[in-house]
Amino acid sequence: MSSLSDLALPHIAKLHAYTPGLQPTEPGWVKLNTNESPYGPSPRVAEAIRRELGEHADGDPLRLYPNPKSTPLRQLVAKIHGHGLREGNVIIGNGSDDILNLLMRAFGGPAAATGFTFPSYSLYPVLVAIQKGMSQVIEFDRSMKLPVEKIAASNAHAFFLTSPNAPTGVAFTNAELEAVLARFSGLLVVDEAYAPFARENAVSLLKRYPNLVITRTLSKAHALAGIRVGYALAHPDVIELLDRVRDSYNVNRLSQAAACAALGDPGYYDVIIGKIIRTRDHWLGEWAGRRGWFTYESQSNFIFTEPKNARGESGPAVAKELYEFLLSRKILIRYFPSHALTASFLRISVGSDDEMFAVNSAIEAWLKIAP
């Protein structure tokens, strides 16, 4: 008998799946590797989930399928963002990864090139490969400035741009995005997973550019990575196309209820987001300013920094050494060794004060043991 993988489509048989950051199951780790929030979600989330479990005498809601289009959540998202957005401008996903996948299903494939930058979110090339699509990769240089001309000249049907970018934390301005949008005829998908930590976002551009799609997630700023909710804002024609390729019940009841409760409590999130921004700016100042480590200006909830050892050297070997030293102390951060633009850097998610002190003390210990 042929091997089971011979039965799969050839492009799937040789597919390299996305590698998520490590999710350790034992306790005791300082986990700063996947940009989760160090703070819990709004207390209204647990209350909403209890209600959905029927604990308030309204039956057993889990017997029933969820709202297929997550309609109440679409309405709430439209209202929160303002700028004249309506329910028809919104689609909800099982995480924003679901939305990115829907975009690829609808706009990518063998007959339609898909663009993205490098470095950026490493799920995009995997989604392209699943659809047997062609990738157009536009590389940043070390300045990490947006290559506006190159993107505008691309013939991609959809171009994925992360802003603020991952893993650098560098945000692009609306003026830069408009320079692309004015000349690019494909869909520009701006992945705004980290926008709540940034000074600016692209929502106000939606009404002028029908080819702009913005994706958001509740996994980062809203401290709900475990609940899997994300959404896209776009022209109603784009939303209608995405709805055609969506699983009919793509967001479960508990997640819809949790997301509505979270988005209904902006006061809570203003406080924790403000705290994360202050923590970020403090440690960025310490490492970039006081230690003199080259660090990109972050408008996200992580810091991408190029460590120097006690002799003042930086580079891939130094980054790897510090990564492994921190790992041996049960501090988990992210290292991207596969490309020259990222290999001498480390990405540290912004954690609680205690977690950040733990990282900094470990860095000091590492500097002392140098030969």
Ligand X SMILES: *Cc1c(COP(=O)(O)O)cnc(C)c1O
Kindly write out the interface string for residues 121-140 of this chain, putting x where it contacts ligand X by CB under 6 A and - elsewhere: x-------------------
Residue 193 as a binder of ligand X (CB under 6 A): the answer is yes
Q: Tell me which residue of 215, 254, 200, 292 sits closest to 65, measured CA to CA.
A: 254
Residue 284 as a binder of ligand X (CB under 6 A): the answer is no
Residue 97 as a binder of ligand X (CB under 6 A): the answer is yes
Comparing CB distances to ligand X, the nearer of 94 and 362 is 94
For every residue of 295-339, DSSP letters joined together read EPPP-SSEEEEE---TTS--SHHHHHHHHHHHHHTTEE-B--TTS
Comparing CB distances to ligand X, the nearer of 189 and 358 is 189
Single out the segment in contact with ligand X by CB under 6 A; choices: 4-12, 128-136, 215-223, 309-317.
Answer: 215-223
Residue 166 as a binder of ligand X (CB under 6 A): the answer is yes
Distance (Å, whole) CA 158 – CA 155:
9
Distance (Å, whole) CA 160 – CA 136:
10
Structure token digits, residue 84: 């004249």
Residue 191 as a binder of ligand X (CB under 6 A): the answer is yes
Residue 96 as a binder of ligand X (CB under 6 A): the answer is yes
Comparing CB distances to ligand X, the nearer of 217 and 279 is 217
Distance (Å, whole) CA 343 – CA 306:
9
Among 37, 89, 217, 256, binds ligand X (CB under 6 A): 217
- Other Cβ atoms within 10 Å of 25 Cβ, number: 5
Q: Which amino acid is at 103?
A: L
Q: Is 226 exposed, middle or buried (0-12, 13-18, 19+ CB in 10 A)?
A: exposed
Residue 219 as a binder of ligand X (CB under 6 A): the answer is yes
| Residues in binding contact with ligand X, number by CB under 6 A | 13
Residue nearest to ligand X (CB): 95
Smallest gap from residue 162 Cβ to ligand X (A): 4
Per CB under 6 A, residues contacting ligand X are: 95-97, 121, 162, 166, 191, 193, 217, 219-220, 225, 230
